[in-house]
Amino acid sequence: MRSRSTAVLSLLAASGLLLAGCASSTTGSGTSPEAAPKTVAVESSIDAPAAVGERIGVDGNSLEVWSGIVPDEAAAGALGDPEAGTQWVTANVAQWVSDKGLTGADIAPVLRSTADDTFEGVAVPQQSVDVEMKPDMSYTYVWSYAVPEALVDPSTLVLCVGTGDEGCSSLTK
């Protein structure tokens, strides 16, 4: 009798793990399309960035920084060494769009520095495939940026939805 109970419990535990795996699995290429939460993006700017974990947005494009790595020496393993005089900085983000036909590369966030208003870091994807994003679905991306060594300061780097001064988030807590 005891072996039957153990077998049934083992089967239930395995089924639970399988279901949990399906609920959290991604569709590949760094994306995990899930229904976008019905939260409103917080107002933010390059001078008053949102905190990590707050959703920001401008013109129908939104993102939420989950974590940032400043500097990110491990990024060289995926992307190669950065140019001389720069270091990799990486941001893990969730992104949403409201318009059809856009890909992650179309709306890649821009890394800015409050210490140098001329700096605009160009996103380099760590995923190898760029997919068309469906409106109001959440997609997970890992973006890296080559940043001049003099600007690699977590307290001054912010990730912005575009090149404007609004829709910006801190990379660190």
User: Residues 135, 101: contact at Cβ < 8 Å?
Assistant: no
Contacts of 3 (CB under 8 A, 6+ apart): none
User: Residues 31, 150: contact at Cβ < 8 Å?
Assistant: no
| Whole-prediction pTM | 0.77
Question: What domains sit in the chain, N to C, each tagged with a CATH number?
Answer: 29-170 (2.60.40)
pLDDT of residue 156: 96
Q: What is the three-class DSSP state of 158?
A: strand
**Which of these ranges, 20-24, 70-74, 95-99, has the smallest mean pLDDT?**
20-24
Q: What is the pLDDT of residues 23-42, one digit of tens each?
A: 333 333 444 455 545 556 89
Structure tokens belonging to residue 17: 């793990």
**Which of these ranges, 11-15, 80-84, 116-120, 163-167, has the smallest mean pLDDT?**
11-15
The alpha carbons of the chain give a radius of gyration, in whole angstroms, of: 19
Q: What is the three-class DSSP state of 60?
A: coil
Query: Phi-psi region for residue 144, left (φ > 0), alpha (ψ -120 to 50) or beta?
Result: beta
What is the rounded (10 degree) CA torsion for 111, 126, 59, 148?
10
Q: What is the pLDDT of residues 101-155, one digit of tens each?
A: 999 999 999 999 999 999 999 999 998 889 999 999 999 999 999 999 999 999 9
Q: In the beta sheet, which residues pair with residue 137?
A: 35
pLDDT of residue 129: 87
C-alpha span between 83 and 86 (Å, rounded): 6
